[in-house]
Chains A and B, each alone.
Chain A
Amino acid sequence: MNQHLLLGAEAIAMAAIDAGISGVYAYPGTPSTEITEFIQHSHIARERNIHSTWSANEKTAYESALGMSYAGKRSLVCMKHVGLNVAADAFMNSAMTGVNGGMVLVVADDPSMHSSQNEQDSRVFGKFAMLPVLEPSTQQEAYDCIHYAYSISEQLQLPIVVRISTRISHSRAIVVSQSIQKQNSLNPDTDKRKWILIPAFARMRYAHLLSLQPKLLELSEKSPFNTVVKGNSKQAVIAFGIAYNYVMEVITAHNLDISVLKISQYPIPHTHVAEFLYTYDSILIAEEGYPVYEELLRGFSGNNKLRGRLDGTLPRTGELNPDHIAQAFGIAIQQEYSIPVFVVNRPPELCKGCSHRDLFEALQIVMKEYSHNHVFSDIGCYTLGALKPFEAINTCVDMGASVTMAKGAADAGMHPAIGLIGDSTFTHSGITGLLDAVNDKSHVTIIISDNATTAMTGGQDSAGTHKLHSICEGIGVEPSHIRTITPISTGLQENIQIIREEIEYKGVSVIIAQRECVQVAIRNKKKNKTS
């Protein structure tokens, strides 16, 4: 037997390799990053020539995976939940084209926002696209459902969504693996009416997608991942994905006699659900994420048998845990001890010696000279500049928004209009916004804090390393207003001077603040020592 101790993310990665993928495409994002990293470090993946380098963003990743599928091979695409917003156009339309080689999208949600801007529930996207969604509750199921997903993807000729969340992605358990399958050979799809979504063809494809829906339902009805635990009382739970674990924990620990319908494949299995709604007097709906199906099952009339996140039985927001479920059953928590009052938090902070620190120091000094001293910023380690001691940024919305919000604010008459963005975020979604600013000759100053890595998510390669200057020049920023500085304490006065000058320049200027992330520098040093 092949036993492995794997994170949920790693179980997915191993399963994808074993299912014969020819490529994984992804942009980093917690809690999905470890899937791609596992494949990058796997020697089997290397022997099989499985593509695994990072994509510039989730949209490019999704489309590349779709192209690989078009060519007849199996592909995997991974992202965090907000990444699917970026890839949404490709995603929605891939439900229309369908696929050729099996294609699986793994999307990792982050309820409780451990490291995200929101806690959107990707199951809604699955429903929106009318695609099958799998939501494993255990690491073993994560492994198994990937094999299953590739098989139904090729059977239905549709991309399959696998939705995970932080807790399963970052939790380890023993996983038994299956034997490894052959990779598909090159076999491009020749059906143009499938792939060219001009209106006449698109209408046919939409009709086709609709015609597949009964088949998707049938697969859910007999899915090995949707199961029933029978009890004898009139109480029941419908538990989705990982919520099943918490429900079973409480039921077994307290010997409760309650029936459970576990749902890990969507569309929801109508027969089972209808039977539960009919048979039981009180039904708890336990979902990790939004109360998507609770709302649906309640309907307009509000089924009063149902309890869940919408009536306060479970918290409306955040990740579930076994204590929430216990309380929903009226079981008192056996907590003996409380945290002493003097235990303070340890907020994360920029590392000692981080280049962002020196940049913030210089920027803060310059900004004090202006009455409108707003800095539009973005997502990355440098977002920690929002906290003490710097408190140097005013916004962080979505990747790339620093550039475009600064532009909009400049259009409104704000000066200075500063966009502060990381190198990886810039190539993810900042370039097109900068082009808008160039075309409008907007009076903005864009500062790219270039630490030559995607640091926030653990130091992955950054798509624009060594290319940022030529990218800016290429889209038309005046070369004399692309300034490179080294954010370091000895350069403070010079850097202040350059920032001042560029803020006063009436047009688009870019300051590239270049110094390697100290964590990555340490890691590279170690690597060089051992090799």
Chain B
Amino acid sequence: MKTNIIIAGVGGQGILTISSIIDLAAMHSGLHVKQAEVHGMSQRGGEVQSHLRISDSIIYSDLIPLGQADVIISVEPLEALRYVPFLKEKGIIISATEPFTNITNYPNIDAVLSELKKFPNAKLIHASQIAQQLGNIKSYNIVLLGAAIPYLGIPQEQIEWGIRTLFATKGNAIIDANIAALYKGLEITK
């Protein structure tokens, strides 16, 4: 088993949280993990991405080769398109539909979404809207993680364990809200 995942977004959108949960879940499942992150400019609204690889055998490269990503999870639709050169033929795209428009030349959002819909396995998710309905707007990244569960090669209980572990110090209310977001996301793609 081997899954290559690109996680994309803009600084401050919680992409490292998604990576950390998958990392923990994979380690807890006895798998190998490698996860390359972007540090540095991230707090200033620049694009950020993470290459996450999990496998039951040794992983050499910290970076995913072009055309080898099984899944792209993107917290922002334009950012999903930025990493499609890494996507395998018929690879999965899980993307939020809500744009993060901190640039004046952000392209037309309808054009962005219809471009994404051209990919055979793109799942477009109103992550912010769903998170808002659940009463915890901050958990939109976890909604996307939930939607990605069927494609990660890790059992959902392990992902749930990852959330409980990562948020252990934050109290039950936050843990419960995130687990609710996770399963709400999973409902969409299951």
Contacts and interface: CB of A to CB of B under 8 A. Distances in A.
Contact of B107 (A168, A321, A344): A344
B: interface residue count bin: 35 or more
B94 to A, nearest CB: 16
B45 A346 contact: yes
A336 B88 contact: yes
Nearest to B19: A172
Contact of A248 (B27, B60, B85): B60
A170 B44 contact: no
B99 to A, nearest CB: 11
A246 B27 CA distance: 22
Contact of B67 (A114, A249, A334): A334
B39 A170 contact: yes
A461 B103 CA distance: 31
A335 interface: yes
Contact of B47 (A244, A323, A346): A346
Interface in A1-60: 3, 5, 7, 30-31, 34
Contact of A323 (B34, B41, B62, B66): B66
A342 B37 contact: no
Contacts of B27: 3, 5, 174
A381 B67 CA distance: 35
- Please give me the 7 A-B residue pairs with the lowest Cβ-Cβ distance, nearest first: A249-B61, A348-B46, A334-B67, A171-B62, A171-B36, A337-B84, A248-B60
Interface in B49-74: 59-63, 65-68
B43 A351 contact: yes
Interface of B: 10, 23-24, 27, 32-41, 43-47, 59-63, 65-68, 78, 81-82, 84-85, 87-89, 91, 102-103, 105-107, 111-112, 115, 119
Given A338-B85, A343-B107, A346-B47, A246 B60 contact: yes
B32 A174 contact: yes
Contacts of B47: 345-346
Contacts of A242: 62
Contacts of B67: 333-336
Interface of A: 3, 5, 7, 30-31, 34, 114-115, 167-168, 170-174, 242, 244-246, 248-250, 252-253, 321-323, 326, 333-340, 342-351, 381, 384, 458, 519
A334 B112 CA distance: 24
A335 B85 contact: yes
A322 B65 contact: yes
